[in-house]
């Protein structure tokens, strides 16, 4: 009879390999609120339910209509006329019986206005297909709770929009795509030096010589180099080359020909560990110097900042300018016995460093009036093991992004310059309209202003006319009003023909490089934005009619779920580009399906 397999471990096996049991525990304790369960919201929540969140609550005031059957796989023809929130909740619960679900049949905008306290019980609020004005209110509410993180997702025709908003996102395991092993061969501690010195390579038999860990080879070579060069390590390119040559010179030979010893090949490749300079990463240095870990550290501060403060004390004290040793070593050509002995040397040093950090943590907690055991040793070990990769991302609020007084006009101007008008991305063989992702951002905000004036989106039938056909509106008729709304967005950012001066602009304002003149003719907005937002883009947004295409909604649901997991597990850094997954985003992601591009606008 085989070993008993935990059903949960079997179900979540693949994701446990990515974010570990501690990451899964965070996910399994997460309560999520979804606003609007159209295709974008349903696809996002589906991915999170499959991942094993604790619970979800759907807020949606719509009934299932015929149009839902064409773009939402979580409703069926048999549910026509039923509350959409109820139908989607029931079907989602079938996907994972360990996740509890509930729903509120209410229009999210009404709930935001009438019952802001509703959001206090959630860890993450996912708002889909909502307008700027309501999002700004919700952002303020979520920030005031001190708990709820806000993730905004939107599908609009062939365009996707994603933005996270919270005061700060503290990341413990950023897991960069590439990282150097923490070997400390340029600053070896006494026990490691003694371990390396215990080997007599000259008299070792051939098997031992060929299976001595490369760490030993490099430390012995470094010791010999120091003895011959006044105690210093290689500095110039010539010296580094000479050091590598000295390593290769330690190989055994047969008839004057060096033998192929894999451990010496590894030593030559890893020689940079000896002469490289130890540096604390600039992102971590910034955290150590952050006021949140110093003067602003309070009794109610997040444990992240308590541990950063303890790490700073360690760096200034026992670490002598270094972070705690991670304690792991890479695979290397060595006998099992020698590898395990070397591993023990690193592990023991890491444990001593962790104990020193723990002492600082207990001292800081006592000074703050918090229980000394309120942060577990396992948590301290986790932070020490990942000290090189701690990150903190701070987000501007939506109000700051959208307010004329605080909008980053220069950043928006740069985004508009990046794609240009004709000749921009998307104007190639696929026949997509010439466009740039910055222009699509402007037009999404303009569409919300269009709605505020007319009660409907450009090219779409009136929102208050259920069942009205799209033929009742000619999209071309809405282009002039959408153009005016886009002009207002640009003007608020300091980019109109008579702009205010952008707070982040220089003496020349936030207009440089977008081109002048142009007027309203030629299908372009007047003034400095000429060519960036053209007639093709205006027509495309009107043609889309705010439709949620399932192919776009499904893609955005995948991206949004990935971002939600990062926010909840505090692992990985949020996306910069969809193709580069682990770089922080403190802005807005625009997905341009027409040109197959993604852009983050840090506005």
Full DSSP string of 14-74: HHHHHHHHHHHHHHHT-EEEEE--SHHHHHHHHHHHHHT-SEEEEE--PBP-GGGGGT-TT
Q: Which CATH superfamily is domain 7-170+551-601 in?
A: NAD(P)-binding Rossmann-like Domain (3.40.50.720)
The closest of 330, 375, 323, 394 to 354, measured between CA atoms, is 323
Interstrand relation of 31-35 and 55-59 (parallel, antiparallel or unpaired): parallel
Residue boundaries of the structural domains of the chain: 7-170+551-601, 190-275, 282-389, 401-461+469-499+508-545
Per-residue pLDDT tens for 437-494?
Answer: 999 999 999 999 999 999 999 999 875 444 444 457 889 999 999 999 999 999 999 8
Q: Identify the residue whose tokens are 């030993």.
A: 216
Q: Please name the residues in contact with 503: beta carbons below 8 A apart, sequence gap of 6 or more.
A: 405, 406, 407, 408, 409
Q: With beta carbons less than 8 A apart as the criterion, state whether 409 and 494 touch.
A: yes
The closest of 99, 9, 10, 23 to 564, measured between CA atoms, is 23
Per-residue pLDDT tens for 210-238?
Answer: 999 999 999 999 999 999 999 999 999 99
Residue 1 pLDDT greater than 60, yes or no: no
Higher model confidence: residue 543 or residue 587? 543
Residue 500 pLDDT greater than 70, yes or no: no
Q: Please name the residues in contact with 142: beta carbons below 8 A apart, sequence gap of 6 or more.
A: 119, 125, 148, 149, 150, 165, 166
* 79/184 Cα distance (integer angstroms): 63
Higher model confidence: residue 435 or residue 266? 266
Q: Which tokens go with 558?
A: 């995948």
Q: With beta carbons less than 8 A apart as the criterion, state whether 108 and 130 touch.
A: yes
DSSP 325-376: P-------SS-HHHHHHHHHHHHHHHHHHHHHHHHHHHHHHHHHT--TTSS-
Beta strands in 30-181 (DSSP E): 31-35, 55-59, 100-104, 124-128, 149-156, 159-165, 168-171
* 473/48 Cα distance (integer angstroms): 37
Q: Which tokens go with 168?
A: 């700060």
Q: Residue 87 has what pLDDT? A: 98
The closest of 250, 293, 253 to 268, measured between CA atoms, is 250
* 602/592 Cα distance (integer angstroms): 17
Beta strands in 124-277 (DSSP E): 124-128, 149-156, 159-165, 168-171, 253-254, 257-258
The closest of 154, 149, 127 to 58, measured between CA atoms, is 127
The pLDDT-based confidence of 497 (bands split at 50, 70, 90) is low
Per-residue pLDDT tens for 139-171?
Answer: 999 999 999 999 999 999 999 999 999 999 999
Q: Residue 544 has what pLDDT? A: 96
Q: Please name the residues in contact with 56: beta carbons below 8 A apart, sequence gap of 6 or more.
A: 31, 32, 33, 34, 45, 48, 49, 89, 92, 99, 100, 101, 102
Residue 570 pLDDT greater than 80, yes or no: yes
The closest of 600, 565, 429 to 26, measured between CA atoms, is 565
Q: Residue 572 has what pLDDT? A: 80
Residue 501 pLDDT greater than 50, yes or no: no
Task: Characterise 146 by phi-psi region: left (phi > 0), alpha (psi -120 to 50), beta (else).
Answer: left
* 578/431 Cα distance (integer angstroms): 23
Q: Residue 22 has what pLDDT? A: 87
Q: Residue 386 has what pLDDT? A: 95
Q: Residue 503 has what pLDDT? A: 44
Neighbours of 462 (CB within 10 A): 13
Q: Which tokens go with 180?
A: 């150097």
Q: Which tokens go with 184?
A: 């400390």
Q: Residue 447 has what pLDDT? A: 98
Interstrand relation of 149-156 and 124-128 (parallel, antiparallel or unpaired): parallel
**DSSP assignment, residue 527?**
G
Q: With beta carbons less than 8 A apart as the criterion, state whether 566 and 573 touch.
A: yes
**DSSP assignment, residue 548?**
B
């Amino acid at each position: 009879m085989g070993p008993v397999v935990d059903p949960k471990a079997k179900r979540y096996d693949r994701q446990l390999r990515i974010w570990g049991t501690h990451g899964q525990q965070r996910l399994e304790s997460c309560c999520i609120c979804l606003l609007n369960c159209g295709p974008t919201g349903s696809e996002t929540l589906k991915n999170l339910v499959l991942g094993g969140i604790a619970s979800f609550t759907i807020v949606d005031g719509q009934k299932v209509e015929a149009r839902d059957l064409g773009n939402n796989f979580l409703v069926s023809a048999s549910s026509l006329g039923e509350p959409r929130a109820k139908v989607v909740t029931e079907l989602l619960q079938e996907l994972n019986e360990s996740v509890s679900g509930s729903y509120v049949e209410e229009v999210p905008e009404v709930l935001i206005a009438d019952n802001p306290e509703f959001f206090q019980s959630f860890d993450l609020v996912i708002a889909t297909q909502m307008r700027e004005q309501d999002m700004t209110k919700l952002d303020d509410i979520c920030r005031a709770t001190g708990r709820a993180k806000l993730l905004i997702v939107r599908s609009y025709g062939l365009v996707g929009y994603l933005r996270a908003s919270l005061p700060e996102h503290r990341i413990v395991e950023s897991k960069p795509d590439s990282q150097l092993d923490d070997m400390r061969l340029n600053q070896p501690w006494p026990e490691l030096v003694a371990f390396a010195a215990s080997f007599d390579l000259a008299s070792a038999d051939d098997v031992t010589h060929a299976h001595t860990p490369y760490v030993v080879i490099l430390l012995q070579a470094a010791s010999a180099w120091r003895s011959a060069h006044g105690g210093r390590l290689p500095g110039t390119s010539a010296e580094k080359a000479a050091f590598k040559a000295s390593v290769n010179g330690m190989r055994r030979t047969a008839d004057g020909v060096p033998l192929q010893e894999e451990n010496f090949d590894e030593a030559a490749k890893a020689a940079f560990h000896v002469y490289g300079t130890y540096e604390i990463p600039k992102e971590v240095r910034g955290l150590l110097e952050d006021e949140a870990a110093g003067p602003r550290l309070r009794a109610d501060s997040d444990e992240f900042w308590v541990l950063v403060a303890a790490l700073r004390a360690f760096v200034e004290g026992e670490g002598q300018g270094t972070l705690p040793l991670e304690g792991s070593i890479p695979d290397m050509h060595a006998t099992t016995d020698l590898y395990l002995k070397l591993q023990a040397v690193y592990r023991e040093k890491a444990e001593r460093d962790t104990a020193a950090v723990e002492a600082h943590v207990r001292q800081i907690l006592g000074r703050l009036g918090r229980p000394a055991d309120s942060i577990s040793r396992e948590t301290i070990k986790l932070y020490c093991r990942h000290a090189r990769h701690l990150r903190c991302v701070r987000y501007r609020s939506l109000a700051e992004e959208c307010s004329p007084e605080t909008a980053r006009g220069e950043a928006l101007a740069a985004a508009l310059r990046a794609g240009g008008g004709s000749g921009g991305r998307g104007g190639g063989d696929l026949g997509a309209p010439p466009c740039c992702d910055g222009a699509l951002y402007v037009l999404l905000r303009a569409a919300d202003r269009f709605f505020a004036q007319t009660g409907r989106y450009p090219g779409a039938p009136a929102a208050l006319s259920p069942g009205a056909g799209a033929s009742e509106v000619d999209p071309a008729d809405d282009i002039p009003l959408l153009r005016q709304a886009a002009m207002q967005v640009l003007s608020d950012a300091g980019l109109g023909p008579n702009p205010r001066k952008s707070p982040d602009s220089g003496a020349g304002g936030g207009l440089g490089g977008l081109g002048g003149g142009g007027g309203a003719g030629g299908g372009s907005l007047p003034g400095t934005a000429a060519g960036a937002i053209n007639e093709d883009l205006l027509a495309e947004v009107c043609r889309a009619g705010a439709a949620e295409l399932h192919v776009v909604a499904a893609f955005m649901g995948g991206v949004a779920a990935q971002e939600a997991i990062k926010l909840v597990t505090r692992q990985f850094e949020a996306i910069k580009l969809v193709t580069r997954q682990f770089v922080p985003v403190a802005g807005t992601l625009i997905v341009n399906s027409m040109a197959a591009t993604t852009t983050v606008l840090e506005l």
